[in-house]
Structure 1
């Protein structure tokens, strides 16, 4: 039995967080949102520890040993553990939102294609009933803004760009040509928001393919 497995057995809170991450990975894989080794998933425990997927693993085939602990600066708490290069973006969300309990990052076709088809700094969603899944949304008539940031291998630089708009994000954000970040107070809420956002992006992609007018960006797609 591995050291990591022993630690999980001895810590029910950690075991629950790891199981939530494993289940989320399987669901995201089933929907086609985490191809190959893409994406990452994290949970913040009640005591402040952050459980995060290890770098390089396929999210559809996770087990408890694929979940590692990092601190709020993204530093692994056990020698030899390698977190994702984008760990800092998870930590940024936890640092900015005290109520955030889970963060999900996926690489869907819709998010990738729509964000690459425009140079706009945001995508806009309106007139969809599913918008109500996002915090503060009570009607389909509102317009939900989803910021889009250019992809950057310098994650510290990217996080500074995200920080300028983080407080106003109700539906998460997109890294252009890369994927989405969504969060919530619990894993269930985070998953619901991710599914809501991905559904809306998929609908908009279908509208574009059908030639139906869309206002998802301020410039024509």
Structure 2
């Protein structure tokens, strides 16, 4: 790699992978991550790589429509990244972990998980008070990624304040204006998912 922006993106993506793998949020070769470069190219993890051991060769470039800019194969879910970048021009990083809490939440909460009146909501970009209500939609998994991306797009069009979404029995997507923002969102959402799952169990007891 000779592109300095791509080199920096590869470093940030590898570091994010190590952090998320250390927390058990990207088991095996699951998950995918991306960073939007200043020229609107997207640096994204290639398909089937262990996220805790990413190297610069495991990061490739796609254009704004998700088309590979070299011979390698991008993540199968690249269109889910490009749709978020189109919807939010200020977003520069997207993380998609496959966490246990996201899968459990998708089995417990139907079409959405609603989180309110929790201090850690303030870790999500744009939220300044615990007295907030955040809805994280849950979409049925689908191997037809263009169809899934279209469903996500339709929801985002109607809910431009969305902070993340879950794919049922799969994982979740969140994003930020920087990689550090996206990582903060993952950590906060993991706590909030765990809280709601435990509270759901308490209420059922």
> TM (normalized to structure 1)?
0.88
**Counterpart in the other structure of 2:59:** 67
Task: Show structure 1 runs of 4+ deviating over 6 A.
Answer: none
* Structure 2 residue 172 is the aligned partner of structure 1 residue 172: no
CA–CA separation in structure 2 for the residues paired with 1:136 and 1:212: 30
Deviation of the 1:60 alpha carbon: 0.3
Deviation of the 1:110 alpha carbon: 0.6
CA–CA separation in structure 2 for the residues paired with 1:57 and 1:71: 20
Deviation of the 1:18 alpha carbon: 0.4
Please tell me whether Structure 1 or Structure 2 has the larger radius of gyration of its CA atoms: 1
CA–CA separation in structure 1 for the residues paired with 2:107 and 2:202: 19
Q: How does 1:1-221 map to 2 (within 5 A)?
A: 8=1, 10-79=2-71, 81-118=72-109, 120-167=110-157, 168=159, 169-208=161-200, 211-213=201-203
Q: How many residues align?
A: 203
Secondary structure at the aligned position of 2:202 is classed as coil
CA–CA separation in structure 2 for the residues paired with 1:84 and 1:116: 25
CA–CA separation in structure 2 for the residues paired with 1:163 and 1:127: 28
- Structure 2: tracts of 5 or more residues without a match: none
* CA RMSD after TM alignment: 1.5
User: Over residues 107-139 of structure 1, what are the superposed CA-to-partner deviations in whole Å (9 max), with x where a residue is unaligned?
Assistant: 111110110234x21110112111012233121
User: Over residues 117-170 of structure 1, what are the superposed CA-to-partner deviations in whole Å (9 max), with x where a residue is unaligned?
Assistant: 34x211101121110122331211211100110001101111111112214243
CA–CA separation in structure 1 for the residues paired with 2:148 and 2:105: 20
